[in-house]
Structure 1
Amino acid sequence: MGIRPKIDRADLLSSLFCYAFYTCLPTSHRVWADVREALYKCSEQDLDPELVQNQLISDLKYHPGSRAPVSRSHQFQAFNWFSIQAEEFKWKLIPEFSSVLDKELEELPFVYRTYPRGDISVTLLEENQDHLSHGTTGLITWQGAYCLLDWAEWSEELKGKSVLELGSGIGQFGLTAVQSLQIKEFIFSDFHHSVLNYLHLNISLNLGNPPSMEELEEFMQRGYLEPYTADTVRYSTKDYDVKSTTKVRVQHLDWRDYQSSLLPRVDIVVASDIVFAKELHRPLTDTLVDIINTNSCPAYIACTRRQEEGVVKAFLEMVEERGLSSEIVYDRVYSPADGIIAHYEGLHPVKVFKIHQDSLRTEKPSKGKVYF
């Protein structure tokens, strides 16, 4: 019993370091302060520096995030940070750490980030620098997906259901949900061909047969450009043979230009962070009305407050003008301790709204209500 705390300290250090390493968080992020605290505890308890470093290297090797390469630039930054801490604690670096510090390389346009959630980890190729360089915000992850996952786990509303996600982006919500929520069928959808290409890769990386490490390395430099182009993406659908009991499909769906006959038959609709652009409120409302009334199903949309409340409120009022109802079913205010991987924006309140046919109304219309 007496040596157990020492083992726990090394495990905690390794767990935190692997998390910070495979999420590709910059060393300025607060999670690295937690790593430093764990490192201090190891030093304070006189753990063997060589054994601790060997455990770190071993855990990095077998971590789920190792399914994809980590940019050499981030490796340098992480290992250089570790070497500075080690020098302070008078630890000698083992060769596996020191060899990475020979040369710092430039940042690449794309990066693989691993998002852990319980026993599930999802690795995504996403944009690393300019979040609008491809004319879409869909190539990074947003915190609304975290809240939607929290709601889905808490409510169990998706269990055994056929689910359509609007604005799936690169797949953070769907790829996690497919592996953890016992969903019958999950249909990803988005409109931009670049987003659907990255989604295609991320499905293969997490649920199918991923490309080789050499190919994955190459994608960090040039991105992923298959199988769609702007000319071929319209109305496309693709079914995937995945390592899951859930049936998985990707469907091109542009709210501004779709055919009602091609909309899928589903039990439930989900989405996160899709109402931030007022110019899309009308086509999004039209799409929701079409899907909800055709399927007699509800929609659950996670909305993050990034602007004034009027953006979300205007959308909900438009929805209700079309004969649907809305109500809050879940809300969260996240703190840095929650481990939200979104270092490019601050944390904001998030609420999940249920939108459904008016006959199922349980609350008064939204007009005049304050939601945030």
Structure 2
Amino acid sequence: MALSEPKSLKYADILKELRVSFFAMNRLTSFPWILVENELQRNKSSDLISELLQQTCLHPLCQKFPPSVRYRRLFLSELIRREAADCDPLDQLYDALAEVLGAEEATECYKSYLLPSSDAVSLLESVALISEGTTGLVTWEAALYLAEWALDHKQVFTGRSVLELGSGVGLTGITICRSCSPHRFVFSDFHPTVLQKLRDNVHLNGLSNDSSPVVSVDELDWTTVTEEKLREIRADVVIAADVVYDPEVAESLVKLLSKILSCWSVEVQPEIFICSTVRNPETYSSFKLQLENSGISQEVMTGPVSQVFPYNRLSPIELIKLYR
């Protein structure tokens, strides 16, 4: 059932793209609405709208982990706007809209990121980008990119102990735990509200100290953590995403990375991967210069990654591997 469009997406592809974007609360303007409209005009029925509703607002995942009330309201309004004019109105669609119109908006909502295995990583996130003085209560682009890179390079994590710095709400780490079979995974952060949200999300996704992999959530102050603590963690792989956004934070990170690398001999040093959205080139260049001045070498990891999650791919993102 091909559509006469340049990309020639099939009916099932339209459903999949909208489902993935809906649960991740991707921007509604990025949805393939023109393809939806063309299919509706071609079929002259509301079957596609009905199926889209089943795959989004009426899906069991939405019942368990619903996106924000405002987002669902806007999404349903878009579906209503695109209903074929010569088709009977779909009662389920208007019933779903009536339900969200009567719901109260909260300060938190769920975002679900669908994995290639058809499993989902569901996270409770803040509706606001900055909340309680921190940006750590939402998922950022570099975390999504690093998760995609991990899915393409599972061998880096399989059977190994992994430490994640600045885990935030947990998207990257939970994806690795779900898909890459690490032996042990240590999530870490410092802000108390972020740590509590992180623990909630780890638990939400069925991970614990008794699960496989063995998982823990640790408070880690980059400025005071001891070499003894780092040796206790004994990570084979260290990762971090979107942690180079402030000059002071970048300086603390470089000192921490130096401490991590000094804990072991060159032969047994962990692999370290830092993924950054380069929002401020000056801050990022300063971070890389500090690495160089600390004797830490870097290698930019090039090559495409499989596009699994919906997010803004126009942002400049760089993944580097560090070693001494």
TM-score (normalizing by structure 2):
0.84
Alignment of 1:235-254 (within 5 A): 240-242=209-211, 245-254=212-221
Q: Are positions 1:307 and 2:280 aligned together? A: yes
Aligned to 2:224: 257
Aligned counterpart for 1:348 among listed residues 309, 315, 318? 315
RMSD (Å) for aligned C-alpha atoms: 2.7
Q: In the TM superposition, what is the alpha-carbon distance from 1:339 to its structure 2 partner?
A: 5.5
More displaced 10-residue stretch of structure 1: 276-285 or 53-62: 53-62
More displaced, 37-46 or 156-165? 37-46
Residue 200 of structure 1 is matched in structure 2 by 199
CA distance in 2, matches of 1:277, 1:171: 21
Is the 2:20–2:310 contact (alpha carbons within 8 Å) kept by the matching residues of 1? no
- Whether contact under 8 Å (1:260, 1:290) holds in the other structure is yes
Name the structure 2 match of 1:297: 270
Counterparts of 2:179 and 2:308, CA distance in 1: 19
- Structure-2 residue corresponding to 1:93: 89
> Would the aligned equivalents of 1:18 and 1:63 in 2 still touch at CA under 8 Å?
no
1:180 counterpart residue number: 179
Match of 1:268 in 2: 237
State the 1:114 CA deviation: 1.2
Q: Kindly indicate whether residue 281 of structure 2 is the aligned counterpart of residue 280 of structure 1.
A: no
Q: Decide whether the 8 Å contact of 2:169 with 2:201 is kept in 1.
A: yes
Partners of 1:196 and 1:9 lie apart in 2 by 42
- 1:45-60 aligned at under 5 Å gives the runs 45-46=43-44, 48-49=45-46, 51-60=47-56
2:290 is aligned to: 318
Residues matched between the structures, number: 308
Structure 2 residue aligned with 1:115:
113
Take 1:187 and 1:36, find their aligned partners in 2: how far apart are those partners? 44
Unaligned runs of 5+ in 2: 4-8
d(CA) in 2 for partners of 1:21, 1:275: 29
Counterpart Cα distance in 1 of 2:148 and 2:21:
22
For residues 102-146 of structure 1, what are the alpha-carbon distances to aligned partners after superposition, in whole Å with 9 as ceiling and x for unaligned? 3365643222111123124211111112x2221111111111123
Which letter maps to 2:113? Y
In structure 2, give the amino acid aligned to 1:322: S
1:219-249 superposed Cα distances (whole Å, 9 cap, x missing partner): xxxxxxxxxxxxxxxxxxxx5334xx31111
Counterpart in the other structure of 1:72: 69
Q: Secondary structure at the match of 1:133?
A: coil
Cα shift at 1:192: 0.5
Q: Is the 8 A contact 2:188 2:219 kept in 1?
A: yes
Equivalent residues of 1:292, 1:299 under 8 A apart: no
Provide the rounded CA distance (Å) in 2 between the counterparts of 1:24 and 1:104: 20
Q: What residue in structure 1 maps to residue 6 of structure 2?
A: none
Given that residues 73 and 106 in structure 1 are in contact (C-alpha distance below 8 angstroms), is that contact kept between their aligned partners in structure 2? no
Alignment of 1:152-171 (within 5 A): 152-155=150-153, 156-171=155-170
Quick one: distance in 2 between partners of 1:304 and 1:253? 22
| Residues 1:347 and 1:9: Cα distance change in structure 2 (over 3 Å) | closer
Residues 1:207 and 1:93: Cα distance change in structure 2 (over 3 Å): farther
Secondary structure at the residue paired with 2:302?
strand
Question: Does the C-alpha gap of structure 1 residues 315 and 187 become closer, same or farther in structure 2, counting only changes over 3 Å?
Answer: same
SS of alignment partner, residue 187 of structure 1: strand
Residues in 1 aligned to 2:25 and 2:260: alpha-carbon distance in whole angstroms? 38
AA at the equivalent of 2:275: A
Conservation of the 8 A alpha-carbon contact between 1:76 and 1:104: no
Task: Give how far 1:255 is off.
Answer: 0.7
CA distance in 1 between counterparts of 2:152 and 2:20 reads 24
Distance 1:181 1:154 in 2: 9
Which segments of 5 or more consecutive residues in structure 1 lack a partner in the other structure? Answer: 209-238, 358-372
